[in-house]
Amino acid sequence: RMSGFQINLNPLKEPLGFIKVLEWIASIFAFATCGGFKGQTEIQVSCPPTITENKTITATFGYPFRLNEASFQPPPGVNICDVNWKSYVLIGDYSSSAQFYVTFAVFVFLYCIAALLLYVGYTSLYLDSRKLPMIDFVVTLVATFLWLVSTSAWAKALTDIKIATGHNIVQELSPCKKKEILCYFGSVTSMGSLNVSVIFGFLNMILWGGNAWFVYKETSLHSPSNTSAPHSQGGIPPPTGI
Tens digit of each residue's pLDDT (9 = 90 or more) over 163-215: 999 999 999 999 999 999 999 999 999 999 999 999 999 999 999 999 998 88
pLDDT at 229: 41
What residues contact 73, with CB distance under 8 A and at least 6 apart?
Answer: 57, 58, 59, 60, 85, 86
Task: Please tell me which residue, 236 or 130, carries the higher pLDDT value.
Answer: 130
Contact of 136 with 116, CB cutoff 8 Å: no
Domain span at 170: 10-217
Is residue 10 scored above 70 in pLDDT?
yes
Q: What percent of the chain has pLDDT above 90? A: 69
SS3 assignment for the chain: CECCECCCCHHHHCHHHHHHHHHHHHHHHHHHHHHCCEEEEEEEEEECCCEEEEEEEEEEEECCCEHHHCEEECCCCCCCCCCCHHHCECCCECHHHHHHHHHHHHHHHHHHHHHHHHHHHCHHHHHHCCHHHHHHHHHHHHHHHHHHHHHHHHHHHHHHHHHHCCCCHHHHCHHHHCCCCEEEEEEECCCHHHHHHHHHHHHHHHHHHHHHHHHHCCCCCCCHHHHHCCCCCCCCCCCCCC
Is residue 235 scored above 60 in pLDDT?
no
- Taking only the tens place, the pLDDT of each residue in 17-38 is 899 999 999 999 999 999 999 9
pLDDT at 175: 94
- Taking only the tens place, the pLDDT of each residue in 52-77 is 899 999 999 999 999 999 999 999 98
Evaluate whether residue 77 is within a structural domain.
Answer: yes
What's the pTM?
0.84
Evaluate whether residue 232 is within a structural domain.
Answer: no
pLDDT at 59: 97
pLDDT at 4: 61
pLDDT, mean over the chain: 88
Is residue 227 scored above 80 in pLDDT?
no
Evaluate whether residue 238 is within a structural domain.
Answer: no
Evaluate whether residue 222 is within a structural domain.
Answer: no
Q: What percent of the chain has pLDDT above 70? A: 89
pLDDT at 214: 86
> How many domains does the chain contain in total?
1
pLDDT at 123: 79
Evaluate whether residue 242 is within a structural domain.
Answer: no
Rounded Cα–Cα distance for residues 49 and 108 (Å)? 58
Is residue 11 scored above 60 in pLDDT?
yes
Task: Please tell me which residue, 213 or 8, carries the higher pLDDT value.
Answer: 213
Is residue 108 scored above 90 in pLDDT?
yes
Contact of 189 with 39, CB cutoff 8 Å: yes
